Amino acid sequence: MKKRSPLFFFLLPSVVSVSIFFALPVILTGVLSFTGMDYSFKWNFVGIQNYIDMIGDFMISTVVKNTFVYVFFTLLLFNLGTALLLALFTTTVSDRAGGFFRTIWMLPRLTPSVVYGLMWIWAFDPTDYGLVNIARKLLFGLPPQNWLQSDPMLIIVVANGFVGASFGMILFTSAIKSIPRDYLYAARVDGGSWFFTVRKVILPMIKWQILFVTAYQTLSLLTSFEYIYIITDGGPAFATEVWALYTYHSAFQDFRFGYGAALSMVLVGIGIVSALFYLKFFRFKEMIKEPRIEVDS
């Protein structure tokens, strides 16, 4: 009898876990998307009818627009932009000061989602007791404003961005600290400014981390909705109803489980296309080679 490799026994728990908790749910969701299952929980197969209904759904255009705005601005301004700036600035100061600042910025991620969401609801409370309205009154003498009614998407982007920036901040910080100091010293000796060092030395050396954070956070934003659900629940008037939240509402509020499964499968497809686009855009095949430092001639 052929003796199995020890590697098989090390991989077996992971293979079983991935199969049960990831592969199997995807297969079941795919099958469910071809049914008209509702509150009766009957597996009545309807073919691609759910996908056809999606084309005529009047909410889809609004949901797509909201999802694009939410993902694009949260990713660009916070999960990528702010995270990179935080990593750059906290690695230029002492390790103690930089570590303390990063720890403070990590606190929202350690806070329970409900508590974090309620803090934002209180901050933008439309009455005189909201934090922002208190500041407006004390500093400028302005009357209270209902921010959740006038600018709900802005609040959602900022709320998600503050907690999301910490992920990229930690990864970028680790990547920057792993760059050999000789490269940075050489740039200084050649008279390069801080901006020159960042543009020509640091960014080329952390392109892999930038790709990973961009792709991962895009997929995360496409599928996450907990803070939106807590703060606005997609309102007012569907102004913050993103695709993932609409999927949740369709399945667990309207009890259209088959339609919700179809929406989720489309979201999986969007995620796969986004990941492939990033691999092409960042030239992944070239990135796996030895990184190069560009120097102006």
Given this model, what pLDDT does residue 197 score? Answer: 84
Given this model, what pLDDT does residue 187 score? Answer: 78
CATH number of the 59-287 domain: 1.10.3720.10
Given this model, what pLDDT does residue 297 score? Answer: 47
Sort residue 154 into left (φ over 0), alpha (ψ -120 to 50) or beta. alpha
Given this model, what pLDDT does residue 1 score? Answer: 47
Given this model, what pLDDT does residue 288 score? Answer: 61
Please name which of 63, 84, 267 lies closest in space to residue 161, comparing C-alpha atoms: 84
Burial degree of 196 (CB within 10 A; 0-12, 13-18, 19+): middle
Using an 8 Å Cβ cutoff, are 153 and 70 in contact?
yes
Residue 219 and residue 214: Cα distance in Å, rounded? Answer: 9
Single pTM value for the model = 0.88
Residue 291, preceding peptide bond in cis (omega within 30° of 0): no
Give the SS3 label for residue 35. Answer: strand
Given this model, what pLDDT does residue 168 score? Answer: 94
Within 10 A of 112 (CB to CB), how many other CB atoms are there? 8
Q: Which two tokens stand for residue 226?
A: 């907990």
Per-residue pLDDT of the chain (297 residues; tens, 9 = 90+): 456 667 777 888 888 898 888 889 889 999 999 999 998 888 899 999 999 999 999 999 999 999 999 999 999 999 999 999 999 999 988 889 999 999 999 988 888 999 999 999 999 999 888 999 999 999 999 899 998 899 999 999 999 999 999 999 999 999 999 988 888 878 777 777 878 888 888 888 898 899 899 999 999 999 999 999 999 999 999 999 999 999 999 999 999 999 999 999 999 999 999 988 888 887 776 666 655 555 554
